[in-house]
Homo-oligomer: A and B are copies of this chain.
Amino acid sequence: MIKMKRILVKETIGRKEEKVMLCGWIHNIKKFKSFAFVYLRDRSGVMQMILDDMDMLEKIKLEASVKVTGTLKVNEKAPGGVELAVEELEVVGEAKYDLLPFSINGRDIQASLEKQLDYRTMSLRRMDRRAVFKVQQEIVEAYRAFLIGEGFSEIHTPKIIGAETEGGSDVFMLDYFGKRTFMAQSPQFYKQMMVGAGFERVFEIGAAYRAEPHSTWRHLNEYMSLDLEMGFIESEEDIMDLEERLIGFIMDHLKEKCSSELKLMKVELPKMVKIPRISLTEAQDILLKEFGKKSPVGNIDADGEKLFAKYVKDKYDSDFVFLTKYPASKRPVYTMPDPELEGMTKSFDLIFKGLEITTGGQRIHDYDMLVDNMVKFGAKPESFDFYLESFKYGMPPHGGLAIGLERITMMILGLDNIRKATLLPRDLNRVTP
């Protein structure tokens, strides 16, 4: 085959008669008597090609990867307004299956989600499946760009840790050269420590591990956590202010960068308005009064979150709501108590269309207060020396938050299962592929 620079399908748009080389997979074949329409799919789109060499046609199979040269022809009926008259076609990656696990080129995949995940590399060959991850990538890109603009530093902290960060028993244990260690449930301690180490403002895009032995539409056992932490704040309101601007920034970014993906998935981005901030107690009262819905002590259950989201949508026209001032008993040991509300904390969740996508708040920065709180929580301060040490040397007032990347992706795209927003999910039953 002659040497040419490969171009992408999307780069053929607007071209006239011209010799080009394309690479990709055989997406579809429509045979006629003396020629065939063969559709080539690359990462950018699908191209209609005309093949009149019937011997060549014999050699190709759906989903084989090929390199093709030919001449572009304007054809208004072809998708993209242009088609390719094939001159040479080389199979560079052979298809060696008896039967495809499911059809790639139909209107949708006719298989269960589990089967689609079993054959993840096949289901992702569909553009509408990969589009999810384009949007996810741009969420991350916007998150990073926004925070760098706000003076944050990106950090990478270890996931093998000597002590649990979030408490509870839901932690994976790892044998580290004979030492009992854990997989980090979050970078919580480290991001706080790095604020105190002089970075002042840090963020991390990294894996978090929760050994929760359940399998639901909204939980993963390994997920990507978008974490941030910020020093020299006045209160948790500063963190909510920051997140409000961040979410607006992400939506604007997606509008600009993902219009074709959003169109393909028929997704409308949420309209951004001032996000209401409502205390947990007030929200519980509203749920009881408006919907006759009782809430568990110090919390709102999943159904309550949905009902409350509806109430907020109706009243404030907002898809988002901050629930604030959770009781200390329901928040981790490092959460700053609210001096004006006995038993409550300077914490918040962000609820997006009825699902919690963020937990955040102000943290305790005083060494003695933190040690006392650990004792109160029944934790042994001496197990957390590596963390507490930082608090002896002028830790500034600080706070932060974490956003579950797969959750925010799922909710923006209106997906009904978090696995659809995860490239290779890990759950109770799945460690492969």
Interface of A with B (CB < 8 Å)? 6, 8, 23, 25-26, 41-43, 61, 63-67, 92-97, 100, 119-122, 124-127, 130, 133-134, 137, 140-141, 151, 153-163, 172-177, 179, 181, 183, 190, 193-194, 196-201, 206-207, 209, 211, 213, 221-222, 224, 231-232, 365-368, 386-387, 389-397, 405, 423-426, 428, 431-433
Give the docked Cα–Cα distance between A365 and B94 (Å): 9
Report the Cα distance A96→B161, complex, angstroms.
26
Bound complex: CA of A163 vs CA of B432, how far in Å?
A: 9
Closest B-chain residue to A154, C-beta based? B137
Residue numbers in B under 8 Å from A397 (CB-CB) = 92-93
Question: Which of B125, B153, B159 has a CB less than 8 Å from the CB of A197?
Answer: B125
Chain B positions within 8 Å of A125 at CB level: 197-198
| A423 adjacent to B172 (CB under 8 Å) | no
Alpha-carbon gap, A134 to B157, bound state (A): 15
Nearest Cβ in chain B — how far from A45, in angstroms? Answer: 11
Q: Are A432 and B121 in contact (CB under 8 A)?
A: no
Whole-angstrom distance between the Cβ of A122 and the nearest chain B Cβ: 6
Contact of A432 (CB < 8 Å), options: B151, B386, B426, B431 = B386
A392: contacting residue among B41, B95, B396, CB under 8 A: B95
Residues A392 and B96 in contact, CB atoms below 8 Å apart = yes
Q: What are 20 A-to-B residue pairs whose CB atoms are below 8 Å? A: A43-B198, A43-B201, A63-B393, A64-B394, A65-B231, A66-B394, A67-B232, A93-B395, A95-B392, A120-B193, A120-B197, A121-B390, A130-B197, A137-B153, A156-B207, A158-B425, A158-B426, A161-B431, A176-B221, A387-B433
Q: Are B395 and A199 in contact (CB under 8 A)?
A: no
Known: A121-B390, A153-B133, A157-B424. A23 touches B232 (CB 8 A): yes
In the A-B complex, the 9 residue pairs with the smallest Cβ-Cβ separation, listed nearest first, are A386-B433, A124-B197, A121-B197, A65-B396, A65-B394, A64-B394, A386-B432, A23-B232, A162-B431
